[in-house]
Structure 1
Amino acid sequence: MKKLIAFLAFLGLFMASCNDDDTTVVNNPDPEPVTYTSGTADFSNYVAIGNSLTAGYSDAALFIDGQTNSFPNMLAGNFALAGGGDFSIPFMADNLGGATLGGQTILGNRLILSFATGSPSPVPVSGQGATEISNTLTGPFNNMGVPGAKSYHLVAPGYGNVAGVATGAANPYYARFASSGSATVIGDAAVQNPSFFSLWIGNNDILGFATSGGAGVDQTGNLDPSTYGSNDITDPNVFASVLDGLLQTLTANGADGVLMNIPDVTTIPYFTTVPYNPVPLDEATAALLNGAYAAYNGGLAQLQLGGAISADELARRTISFSAGASNAVVLIDEDLTDLTGFNPALINMRQATPEDLLVFTSQTIIGTLANPNDPTSINGVAVPLADQWVLTPEEQMAVATAQVSYNQTIAALAQVYDVALVDANAFLTTFAETGFPLSDGSTVRATYGTGGGFSLDGVHPSPRGYALLANLMVEAINAKYGSNLPGVNPLDFTGLYLQ
């Protein structure tokens, strides 16, 4: 049975390819100097509003190098070529991430990830982050990206109140640089009277549901976000109302800007790295498991004959193993017909299919023992995976439905407020399907660990991925406002932080 752990070894390949970062690129100067212009835009005071993607979050942490390599800082560097001003960032205290509150460790699981321990999957580095949340910074700050923020958080008074951090009523990242305990993110951005802004918000309104394996609630139809949980999907009408208000505030004094839509989160490495069928079995173990599930399969067959479930559901729920390296895990699926009223043993379980998405963290549970004293209680084999480890097709549909609605709103409001629109959704799809070729002949892909486009948390881009995103935004800005910004060279930025 120990062979069941062996599937984790596939993670070792993530360290196999970091050669892109070693490439030397010779840049030939242009024969004639280029004069960069802002077109009809005014880049003199750029303010970026958003969540972790705007802040420069990477490798499951916020830290100085990540903030420096954020896409807003890259944009600000381009804007400086055409009249842009200084760009201030609420820097963390170090390159570890994490923080303390009153000297007590918080965000302990938000230290930068590393393979330094030799583990087959990345783990947080050891140490204590030097950032103390109660040591508030004096702003204002041009980068208003707040990790963890959902759309409605940007308009919530007290979201940056240090006194509320311990109870979860406030965001520790925003508490460090909020102008007051009652301030709002959008208020602190607007008071700076930006001449140009970027706004990318809404990812977290669906991402928490997805990364929790659909353990949250789809709140469509509930217009009161104060009743939402952290893993819930935001009602599309709430999102639309909030976004409209944000844009109204940001454009009140004539500012131009750029708006990004919401990518299909299921294309990121967090959902595409762990296979649905990672269980290796020898012939004897497969036969043993099939014998153990015989009563379950037989009970399903009897209830199908009685009309309790369809033939299709019977086929979907029947569990079968075979000798080989590619057996599907067993999981709980809440959308199956509840048969426990007929027989308590007939719980809602089935084997995974290619349509199921196992979350990245499921690798930590598959193949382990649910009961340390019972060697047969193997998670994902004899014990079905709980809902939190798998995003089922029905849960994927809930995410996709909300995403489509959000993007329709974003596209419509980009026209209403006459701002540039970036199709981050198409960008991420291309990332997942083909990648992006670079000038040195390499290709940046979304493959976990070796692709160069995503950091080790499987959710946030690497610096090189952020550079590609910045260039996409520059293209949209140039097209909308007639500027001729050059963008950045992705090869100037690393594909992975490795410690």
Structure 2
Amino acid sequence: MKNFKYIGLFVLSLSIASCDVNNDLDAIPEEVAAEVALNTNGLDFSSYVSIGASFTAGFTDNALFIAAQENSFPNILASKFGTTFNQPLMNDNIGGLLYGGTQIQASRFYFDGSGPATLPATPTTETTNVITSSINNYGIPGAKSFHFVASGYGSLQGVPLQLANPYFARIASSASATVLGDAMAQAPTFFTLSEIGGNDVLGYALSGGSGVDQTGNYDPSTYGTSDITDPVVFANVFNTMIATLTANGAKGVVANVPYITNLANFTTVTHNVIPLDATTAATVNGAYAAYNGGLQLAFSYGLISADEVAKRTINFTASETNAVVIEDEYLTDLSSLGLPNYRQGTADDLFVLAGASFIGTEAVAGNPLTVNGVAIPLADQWVITPEEQAAIKTATDAYNTTIAGIASANPNIALVDFKAILEEASNGIAFDDYTLTTSLVTGGLISLDGVHLTARGYALMANKILAVMDAEFGSNFTSATGGLAVAGDYPTNYSPELR
């Protein structure tokens, strides 16, 4: 009790003493970050010109439209450079193109609650309404490396013949103009050169590898739209572009080519998406019995190994995760025995995003024995086999060797490693308070078409460019007040109400 008495007296004395204390304390001043002025270290942005393909244009959600163009990485860069930057804006936020009143490009995608869907609206941008004002953004969706130096690539007459690009035809100075020539007419003092080489392998990938690897063919006029460009052709074009752009002392940033097969378009659809009950599985297995038996015959003749027999044998079970059946041109040709090149897909195969709405559908409505990917094997256009993936990687590596070599030999060039950035994003890349990944819809980096970036992704791209400029040219965008794009200022999707 004695101890409690003294404790009580101590508390009482404190309460009495507190009556004489001024409790109105001065507020602690909020810490204000010091302003850091931008130092460009002599870089001349008076005429900034961007050259590239769809990323440079701001292509998003499978289309080009005003809001996406305003959030393109070159436009973001220009805002940080404090320079005028004119873009060939579309008429609307619908996307798509008309040619003579006929729709030739579809409207943009939007998220319908379950996945990407095409906006139910008609485009209003007419290709034949040529823009004659000065342009700074020469981002040409769909352009391959050799297209940038090809005369006639912007010919209006060539568009309906698929001999010219409608996006360049909207802005070309003449029917015989080249993208590089028109860009140089703006007398660039600073430039970005991005995605050169991307479409040289992307068309092949999007076609499921149904194009031709043209390595060894130095004549691009003989290439198909889904072919891989020969690395020597690429090297000659890229060297020409850099030599031309820097001839008058202009400085710039170039980007290498990522492994495009890391994009969501090729990683979202998996090989084992077929649900079957026991009865249907048994019926389908019966349909493939003759094929499986023929494989054993081929083995007995010494035409294929036991491993290939196992690889090609088709078997379904009562399961939610049966592997699809595909055609594989890289299997041993057994046509002499009347056997097609069929096998079931594996985790090593990649499937294009468009297959999500095709795999599992019925070729004959109401007939469950005509399911695409089960009774009817998937054709080449839906799947990228390991051999086709290797062709894409080999070409990409060759392009990047050229880009790195030219950049390192020219003091006016800074190189941004988009290949490494995309690889990092596969596991999550930090951008302010966000972590962006390459997952479709939820990742925040890749737009609804599975290839192109979201606005936030383009803002990240702009910041990566500014960072290499600081490192190479001595500017301070990464530390200057307001020098970088802020992630929260840029959306990851656009409302379907935006028109």
Please report the TM-score for the alignment, with normalisation by the length of structure 1: 0.90
| 2:369 alignment partner, SS class | coil
Name the residue aligned to 1:359.
Answer: 352
Residues 115 and 441 in structure 2, CA contact (< 8 A), matched pair in contact too: no
Name the residue aligned to 2:469.
Answer: 477
Name the residue aligned to 2:308.
Answer: 313
Runs of 5+ unmatched residues, structure 1: 1-27
| 2:217 alignment partner, SS class | coil
Alignment partner of 1:112 out of 108, 114, 133 = 108
Name the residue aligned to 1:448.
Answer: 440
CA-CA distance at 1:30 after TM superposition: 5.4
Alignment partner of 2:222 out of 201, 223, 227 = 227
CA-CA distance at 1:373 after TM superposition: 6.7
Letter in 2 for 1:457: D
Residues 63 and 91 in structure 1, CA contact (< 8 A), matched pair in contact too: yes
Name the residue aligned to 1:8.
Answer: none
| 1:139 alignment partner, SS class | coil
Moved more, 214-223 or 277-286: 277-286
1:424-439 pair list within 5 angstroms: 424-432=418-426, 434-439=427-432
Q: For residues 77 and 307 of structure 2, what CA distance do their matches in structure 1 show?
A: 52
Name the residue aligned to 2:297.
Answer: 302
> Is 2:208 aligned against 1:213?
yes
CA-CA distance at 1:35 after TM superposition: 1.1
Residues 360 and 371 in structure 2, CA contact (< 8 A), matched pair in contact too: yes
1:397-436 pair list within 5 angstroms: 397-418=390-411, 419-432=413-426, 434-436=427-429
Name the residue aligned to 2:24.
Answer: none
> Is 2:87 aligned against 1:92?
no
Letter in 2 for 1:182: S
1:150-184 Cα distance to aligned partner (Å, 9 max, x none): 01000011111111111111110111111111111
Name the residue aligned to 1:322.
Answer: 317
Name the residue aligned to 1:11.
Answer: none
Residues 159 and 165 in structure 2, CA contact (< 8 A), matched pair in contact too: yes
Q: For residues 279 and 288 of structure 1, what CA distance do their matches in structure 2 show?
A: 15
Name the residue aligned to 2:235.
Answer: 240
CA-CA distance at 1:357 after TM superposition: 0.3
CA-CA distance at 1:284 after TM superposition: 2.0
Residues 139 and 179 in structure 1, CA contact (< 8 A), matched pair in contact too: no
Name the residue aligned to 2:7.
Answer: none
Q: For residues 143 and 44 of structure 1, what CA distance do their matches in structure 2 show?
A: 14
Q: Give the number of equivalent residue pairs.
A: 460
| 1:163 alignment partner, SS class | coil
Residues 432 and 487 in structure 2, CA contact (< 8 A), matched pair in contact too: no
Q: For residues 431 and 219 of structure 2, what CA distance do their matches in structure 1 show?
A: 46
Cα root mean square deviation, aligned: 1.4
| 2:157 alignment partner, SS class | helix
| 2:45 alignment partner, SS class | coil
Q: For residues 376 and 35 of structure 1, what CA distance do their matches in structure 2 show?
A: 69
CA-CA distance at 1:121 after TM superposition: 3.5
Runs of 5+ unmatched residues, structure 2: 1-29, 478-482
Name the residue aligned to 1:67.
Answer: 69
Moved more, 302-311 or 240-249: 302-311
Letter in 2 for 1:347: P
Residues 140 and 188 in structure 1, CA contact (< 8 A), matched pair in contact too: no
Name the residue aligned to 2:60.
Answer: 58
Larger Rg over CA atoms: 2
CA-CA distance at 1:29 after TM superposition: 9.2
CA-CA distance at 1:222 after TM superposition: 0.3
Name the residue aligned to 1:165.
Answer: 159
Q: For residues 29 and 303 of structure 1, what CA distance do their matches in structure 2 show?
A: 79
Please report the TM-score for the alignment, with normalisation by the length of structure 2: 0.90
| 2:254 alignment partner, SS class | strand
Q: For residues 29 and 181 of structure 1, what CA distance do their matches in structure 2 show?
A: 59
Residues 331 and 384 in structure 1, CA contact (< 8 A), matched pair in contact too: yes
Q: For residues 335 and 31 of structure 2, what CA distance do their matches in structure 1 show?
A: 72
| 2:343 alignment partner, SS class | strand
Residues 407 and 415 in structure 2, CA contact (< 8 A), matched pair in contact too: yes
| 2:304 alignment partner, SS class | coil
1:96-139 Cα distance to aligned partner (Å, 9 max, x none): 111211222221x2x111234x6x43221122211111111123
Moved more, 312-321 or 29-38: 29-38
| 1:404 alignment partner, SS class | helix
Letter in 2 for 1:427: I
Letter in 2 for 1:496: N
| 1:231 alignment partner, SS class | coil
1:53-88 Cα distance to aligned partner (Å, 9 max, x none): 1000000000001100000011111111xxxx2011
